[in-house]
Structure 1
Amino acid sequence: MIFRPRPPSPLANLAAAGSVMLAVLVWLAPLWSGFDLFRQVWALIAIAALGLLALTLILRRWRPALICLAALVAISGPVAPEVARSITDNGRTPYPDAITTLTIATHNLWGRNEAANRAAAVLIEMDADVVALQEAFGESGDVTDRLRAVYPFEAECTRHSSRILSRLEIVESGCMQDLLIASRPAEYEWWRHQFPPSTWARIRLEDGTTAVVVSVHMTWPDPLSVQNEQRQNLAEQLRQFERNTMIVAGDFNAAAPSLALARMDRDFGLERRTRLLATWPSQGIGQRFGLGGFRLPTMFTGIDHVFAGEAWTTLSVERGPNTGSDHRPVMVRLWKVS
C-alpha cells in the first residue's frame, strides 16, 4: 500500500488561524482595555474555539487540529484560577453552634421588565433576609411595592435606582456618593466624578452586631475608562466602613476572567463569593422583544456578584429562575461566628 498524505485543506487552515487569533485576543487584555472585552465574553470565545477544533477533526486534518487544540488550551488559561477557586470555595459546613447566618439576594430588575408579578414572587420565594435591587424603576418599579409586604425595612438613594430591602432592622442608610463627597478634601481630583449608583445600609444582625450592606450597579465596560473611574470611587467609598463584616452585592457588569473584575477583587478588599455563575442575558430579554416562545441561548456570562468581608463564610451560592429581567437573581447564604 502506498501512503499518500492528505492534501492541504484551506478550510482547516482557516479554522486553525481563527483559533490562534481568538487566543491572541484573549491574551492581549493586559495591553489594552478594549481587548479585555473579549474576556468578558470568554464563554463565547471558548465555544467558538471548540467549534473550530471540531471542524478540523471532521475534516481529518490533524496538524490544524493540533493547532486548534493548543489555541483552546491557551484560551482556557485565564479562567483556570477562577475554576480552581470555584472548587475550593464550594459550600462549607458551619460550626455546630454560636453562629449567625445571613442570606442575601441581589437582582437587577431591568427597567423594562414587564413581569413585575413574577419577579416579586421569585424574590419572595427565595426567602432572603436582605435583597439588593438594581434598576428598580420604570416597568419594574412595582416589584419594590410588592416586596414591602415581606421586607419592612428599606434603604434607597433618591437619585439612584439601587435599593436595599431587609427583614432585619436597618439602623442607618444613605447614598454612597454623598458619603464619599463629604469626606473628600476640597483639593481632591476634580475629574473623578463618575460614581456607580449605590445605596448602603447598616443592618442589625440576629446576634446584635451590625453589618454594612451595599447595593451597586456599575456601568458597562465600554467605555472602560468610565467603569474604571467608578471602580476607583467605589473602592474609596467602601473604605469609609469596617469591611470585616461588609457585604457588597449587585450588577458589576464585569465577568471572569476579565481584568476589570480582577481589579475589583483587588481594590474592594472583599472576597467575591460568586464564581463561574452565569447570570446574563436571561430569557427575559427575549420576552421583552416578543421572542418568548423562542428559546435563545442565554446566560453566557456572570456579571452579578456578591462580595463579603473575611468574617463571613460561604454556605451556598444559587442562581434564581427567569423573572422577566435580562438578569437572573443571585442568592448567597453566609455565616459567621457570633
Structure 2
Amino acid sequence: MKKIIGLIAGFVVLLGGAAGYVVSVRHGGATVNAVPVSTGQSLALDRSTLFFRNLADGPDHGKLAAVPAAEPGATRKVGELSCDRFAAARGTAICLRLKPDSLPPVTEMLVLDANLQEIHRETLPGTPSRARVSPNGRIVNWTLFVTGDSYAATGFSTRTGLYNLDKKRLIKSIETLPILVDGERYFASDVNYWGITFAADGNRFYLTMGSKGKTYLIEADYRLYRGEAIARNVECPSLSPDSRRIAYKQKVATGKWRLAVLDLATRKITNPPDDRLLDDQPVWRDNDTLLYPLRAADGSTDIWSVGLTKPPTLLIRHATSPSLGGSQTS
C-alpha cells in the first residue's frame, strides 16, 4: 500500500512539473509543447516584456507568447491569441493572421488595446508579411503578399496599408502615394511598397519601394501624403528610437540579404557583426541593439540580438516576429 501511495505521489509531482509541457489535444494536434510553456496566461502590453510568435512544436505553436525582455530564456507565457505577425507600441498592438481555408488567401488585421483586446478588425486580401505600430501608438500598418510567398519570388505583389486609430481612417493600399525619384515624379506600373516604419511624431515614415528591379528607401509625410526616394538597395527599413538610423535588409545577391544600418545624417552604411542571411524587418531594442529572426540549420527559426559593434546573441529558440510591448520602437 505504501508503494502504491508513493507511486501516486510521485506521479502527481511529475504531472505538476510537466504542467507547462502537457496540455489537452486540440484539433488532433500534438499534446506536448517542445519547450516550457505557461499556458492560459492573460497577456498585456508592457515595456519590460518581449512578445513573439511561438514556433515551438506543440499545441501552442503559432500563438502569441511573451517573456521578460531582461530574461529571454524564461518560461514563455502563452495566451489564446494566434498571430502570424505581431507588433506593438504605446498601448496599441496589431495582429495579422491568415484566415483558415481562405482561397485566395485572406488576412484578418486586428487592432488591439493594451490588454490585447480587439478594438478594430479588417479583412484584407493577401498573406501576412510585415506589421508595425507607430511609436505614438496611433497608426498601425501592414504589408501583405498578394502573390508569391517571399521577396525572392518572381512577380510577387504586395499591398501595404495604414489604419489611423484617432481618425478611424483606413488606407487599404498606399500604391497611389506620390513619389519623387531624383527630383521627378515617378510613374511605373510595377511599383510595390513594403515595410513601413514611423518616426516618433507619427507623421514622418519610411518604407521600401520596388520597381524595375530596383529598391528605394522612401521618406514620406503622412499628412501631406507624399514621399521621396533618399537611398537605394534598402528593404524592410526600421527606424531607430532616436530617429538617427535605419536598419534594413541589404541585398547581396538575388534572393539574399544581410543586415545593414544607414546613418540618415551622413548616409554612411555599416554592417553589424552578423553576416548571416536575413529575410525580415529588424526591430530596434534600443538605439544600439537590433532584434531579428533567423532560419537555423535545422529549419527552425530563432530570434537573435546584435549590437552595432557587438557580436550576435541567440535570444529565443523557435520564435519569430519579435516586438517589445509598449516600446518606443516602430
Structure ranking higher in strand proportion:
2
TM-score normalised to structure 2 length: 0.30
- Is the radius of gyration larger for structure 1 or structure 2? 1
